[in-house]
Structure 1
Amino acid sequence: MTARPDAARPGAARSAAAPPGTPDPRRWWALGALVVCVLVLGFDLTILNVALPAMASQLGADTGEQQWIADSYIVVFAALLLPAGLLGDRFGRRRMLTAGLVVFLAGSVAGTFAGSPEQLVAARAGMGVGAALVMPLALSVLPSLFGDEERSKAVGAIAAGAAAGLPLGPLVGGWLLDHYWWGSVFLVNVPLAAFGILACLLLLPESRDPAAPAVGAVSTLLSAGGLGALVFGIIEGPGRGWTDPLVLLALSGSAAMLAGLVLHERRSERPLLDLGLLRRPAFLWNTLTTSLTTLVIAGLLFLLPQYLQAVLGYGAFDTGVRLMPMMGGLLVAARCAAPLVRRLGARTVVSAGLVVLAAAAFLGAATGPGDGYGWAALWLTVAGTGFGFAVVPAMDGALAALPADRSGTGSGLLQTLRQVGGAVGVALLGSLLAGAFTGRLDTSGLPGPAADAARESVVAAHLVATRLDAPGLAASADAAFVHGMSLALAVCGVAALVTAVFTALRLPGRRHRDA
């Protein structure tokens, strides 16, 4: 097995112990460091959920400020993924990955000691800048470390690390809040980011594209503004309403900026938004499959914590523990995906994984108000297994289809579409859940203000029921939430099945690189 070509290009450093043309002996240690990096990014997407009430109380943050504390990270993260990939191609992927970890570490320190909501929003935005550099470049350095046969295992480890971080957020955050103050949810990032920086400097070979163009200011502003406005509009739509002026302004402004970006980039020889990559069938269909699969799994992870906490009554830490069956299924699938792809082909494995994911969603849609955790654990395990078999070969196939000199920009485009898919999944399923919950909740006999408060969410309904000593309202809230969750999971199942059909029809059957 030989190393990928980009590892041997000018500017790519190899281990002194490894003769040219042989795999770097440090590659598995380097992969472990990358997994730690993406794990931290994953749980930073969800760790704030359990710490936000304490932060809001101590910092005096109002509702709008709390939304910005939660959303600033993901908005900046998604907005900067495209230029981050090009920066890695131009200036060196190891160098920019290390820089991203430094920025992420600095943002974490600032968040730990923030004394106002504004400072915390700024710190979270800084962490988003760092995360935008780390995530695509963690993928784009893999071809310089691993050959075709090993790369799918490496991609599986990265995917498992990123996905495992999502349920670890409430788990780690709940434990820290039980023992320390709210700033500890940021402080925990510091030693992990420092470890990642050291590992990048010592273990990763440098790789770059000497012919990569400069990062244009106009392209960067249009891509960052367009993607940031799109994700912001999607996040705010369910809460504010899709006809809210701010949401409409964000979405229309996003459409205008992204259209301007496409027009501007069409005149560029090496564009920031390299839509030419989408003309490669393997990259196009693997990327779409990955994005739609992320949409489904993001919806599941949005619904499940609410169900476990509000309906089944578990705390934040216990909820994180009970999401682990999904991670178990994902880890098993990530380990088994590569040999199955070699034997059956990517199209068969990805399509089958999507069918399994759809089956898990339909099992979840059959949940009743009286069902306990055992049923949820069953379909969570099935969901993790299906997700692993679908997303790991699809991500590996997308990377394999990229030219070696465009792995940074291609990984940035892949991750951008994944993040947008996840945001769309949460927004649309959240809207569906909210509408079904409000329509089914029985608030008859309640005073007007209490009824309005109960309709806001299942958590609010339980608080009203406790305050008014109304067990009937609590039971109605549980039934209404489970009904809404079942509808949303049914939609997830249909989306996974539709994706499976398109994958079976269009995805290349055997792994190959496009010429």
Structure 2
Amino acid sequence: MVAVTANPRRWWALAALVASMLTLGFDMTILNVALPTMAAELGAGTGRQQWMADAYVVVFAALMLPAGLLGDRFGRRRMLITGLALFLAGSLTGALAPDVNWVVAARAFMGVGGALVTPLALSVLPSLFGADERAKAVGIISAASALGLPLGPIIGGWLLNHFWWGSVFLVNVPMAALGIAACVLLLPETGDPASPRVDVLSAALTATGLGALVYAIIEAPDRGWSDPLILTVFAAAAALLTALVLRERRAERPMLDMTLLAHRGFLFNTLAATLVMFVLSGLLFVLPPYLQAVLGHDALGTGVRLLPMMGGLMLAARGAQPVVARFGARAVVSAGLVVLAFAALLGSRTTAGSGYGFVALWLSITGVGFGFAVVTAMDGALGTLPRDRAGSGSGLLMTLRQVGAAVGIALLGSLLAGIFRDRLDVTGLPPHAAHTAGESVVAAHLVAERTDPASAARLAASANDAYVHGMGVVLLVCGIAALVAALLAALLLPRTASPAREAETGDATMVVAAEDA
């Protein structure tokens, strides 16, 4: 490999990559605070809101592995530029979308771009920096990914207070354009023509299998879990994902190397990280409507009020390594999951009159538990991989983590929607208004605004109580899931990671952990 450390443009190139990763980072959280506003203005029920959140995540998870192979075969700079262009086009489409269906399509398109950008932005670092500077570069790009998390809700809230909802998509355009220009001017082209070819059938099985699974989970509360269509789609998802596993097990050079799951440390650390993402994604989906519709904060205020969790996360992520050195990875992962479970169970006691102080308390604890659990689990998973499978293993880990997030939003969002609809008191409302009010707490408040004052107060109070009860059940489920994960970690995780791999995977762990948040 040709050394490029003497070229001063490498830091400008890194700045372009940082802008790209920062954009992807806050795009993962900016939509959460925008969903209540978009639900009100676009008439989106809980199911449609789930699809707006999940369309990006499902496509992102399904295409990440083939995206990395595309970069290896056809040039990483070329495919990175393509990914940024697709992300830019999806953002423009989302900003100008006339209805919910176009927003969902735009989010899916952005997921294609994000799947290309994420692995390829990391893979070009060795061509830019020598070994003496690479750790510093990885640290900078990791910080950018992590910084995007708290910035997303704040930027989104400010935009929604001053502009229309499409501005949360439009903000991506200049940053993506900057990334494209910098990649064209500054990045060298790198690739590996000897890499495995992209298995189109395996990629299609991944995308259709995950899409069918998420569709069935989201639509089941409306149609019924025993509805023939829902049962058929569940069966199709199981068949497609089973076919994917069987095909990959027979492949000489698989895109999705399932044999890695035979490594005990990798399997159970990955399971812990996936369950953490399941819990966190569900929590971030249900909390903004509570802060906006129930407590009455505006979008910017909602974004700012999510910061305690981000603060706890950053604090734990920085302190994880010395704690692991003192007590061991298994103890830290288990303890982090127990803390996460405690936070969720505490949050399940939230009422409509709790106020923000109580929410800030359990949000902070959530961030601490998440930070200790996910960073340590990532490090443990990557540390068990053989040297020649580090790339495919990290790809599998990131894919499963995204699946956990998608299923968390779909399953927990569906649970919330069903409970809210069942407990909402719509007595005296016309059938159409009653159906609209049952779609979400935001819709119920909009319906209340159009009724007489006495009925409005009763409907708003019922909507708040029904939503808070549903949120409490969701958080209770999250707490139980975290406790189960803690028990599995305590019983099944190996005591330590492989020391020979710790130094090699340290930088990669920082990046993947930041992306997971």
Q: Same fold (TM over 0.5)?
A: yes
* 1:356 to 2:343 alignment: no
Q: Distance in 2 between matches of 1:404 and 1:476?
A: 57
Question: Could you say which residue in structure 2 is the equivalent of 1:15?
Answer: 4
> 1:503 Cα shift?
1.2
* 1:390 to 2:376 alignment: no
Name which of 454, 468, 478 aligns with 2:464: 478
* 1:315 to 2:298 alignment: yes
Single out whichever of 40-49 and 222-231 deviates more from structure 2: 40-49
1:329, 1:383 within 8 Å by CA — same for their partners in 2?
Answer: yes
Q: Distance in 1 between matches of 2:125 and 2:344?
A: 32
Q: Distance in 2 between matches of 1:398 and 1:315?
A: 40
- Residue type matched to 2:84 in 1? L
Q: Distance in 2 between matches of 1:320 and 1:131?
A: 23
1:85, 1:408 within 8 Å by CA — same for their partners in 2?
Answer: no
- Residue type matched to 2:287 in 1? L
**TM-score with structure 1 length normalisation?**
0.81
Q: Distance in 1 between matches of 2:104 and 2:117?
A: 20
Q: Distance in 1 between matches of 2:98 and 2:427?
A: 44
* CA distance 1:143–1:392, shift in 2 (3 Å): farther
Q: Which runs of 5+ in 1 are unaligned?
A: 1-11, 19-23
Question: Could you say which residue in structure 2 is the equivalent of 1:254?
Answer: 237
Question: Could you say which residue in structure 2 is the equivalent of 1:234?
Answer: 217
> 1:202 Cα shift?
7.9
Name which of 325, 330, 343 aligns with 1:347: 330
Q: Distance in 1 between matches of 2:138 and 2:369?
A: 16
- Residue type matched to 1:367 in 2? T
Single out whichever of 230-239 and 418-427 deviates more from structure 2: 230-239
Question: Could you say which residue in structure 2 is the equivalent of 1:80?
Answer: 63
> 1:141 Cα shift?
6.6
Question: Could you say which residue in structure 2 is the equivalent of 1:422?
Answer: 405
What SS class does the counterpart of residue 80 from structure 1 fall into? helix
Question: Could you say which residue in structure 1 is the equivalent of 2:82?
Answer: 99
Name which of 265, 268, 276 aligns with 2:248: 265
1:89, 1:407 within 8 Å by CA — same for their partners in 2?
Answer: no
> 1:35 Cα shift?
4.2
Cα deviation, 1:14-70, whole Å, max 9, x if unaligned, reads 43349xxxxx9999868845641431441365365256358748xxx9999988666
> 1:326 Cα shift?
0.7
> 1:277 Cα shift?
1.5
Name which of 128, 133, 146 aligns with 2:111: 128
Q: Any residues of structure 2 matched to 1:24-35 within 5 Å, and which? A: 32-33=18-19, 35=21
- Residue type matched to 2:275 in 1? L
Q: Distance in 1 between matches of 2:146 and 2:196?
A: 33
**TM-score with structure 2 length normalisation?**
0.81
Report how many aligned residue pairs link the two structures. Answer: 493
Single out whichever of 284-293 and 459-468 deviates more from structure 2: 459-468
Q: Any residues of structure 2 matched to 1:13-412 within 5 Å, and which? A: 14-17=3-6, 32-33=18-19, 35-43=21-29, 45-46=31-32, 49=35, 52=38, 56=42, 72-91=55-74, 96-113=79-96, 122-137=105-120, 157=143, 160-161=146-147, 163-164=149-150, 168-169=152-153, 171-197=154-180, 211-403=194-386, 405-412=388-395
* 1:493 to 2:482 alignment: no
Q: Distance in 2 between matches of 1:118 and 1:370?
A: 35
2:34, 2:165 within 8 Å by CA — same for their partners in 1?
Answer: no
Q: Which runs of 5+ in 2 are unaligned?
A: 502-517
* CA distance 1:418–1:161, shift in 2 (3 Å): farther
2:337, 2:369 within 8 Å by CA — same for their partners in 1?
Answer: yes
Q: Distance in 1 between matches of 2:101 and 2:413?
A: 27
What SS class does the counterpart of residue 32 from structure 2 fall into? coil
Question: Could you say which residue in structure 1 is the equivalent of 2:494?
Answer: 508
Name which of 452, 457, 476 aligns with 1:468: 452
* CA distance 1:460–1:38, shift in 2 (3 Å): closer
The share of aligned pairs that are identical, in percent, is 58
Pairwise CA RMSD of aligned residues? 3.8
Q: Distance in 2 between matches of 1:161 and 1:182?
A: 23
1:13, 1:205 within 8 Å by CA — same for their partners in 2?
Answer: no
1:39, 1:164 within 8 Å by CA — same for their partners in 2?
Answer: no
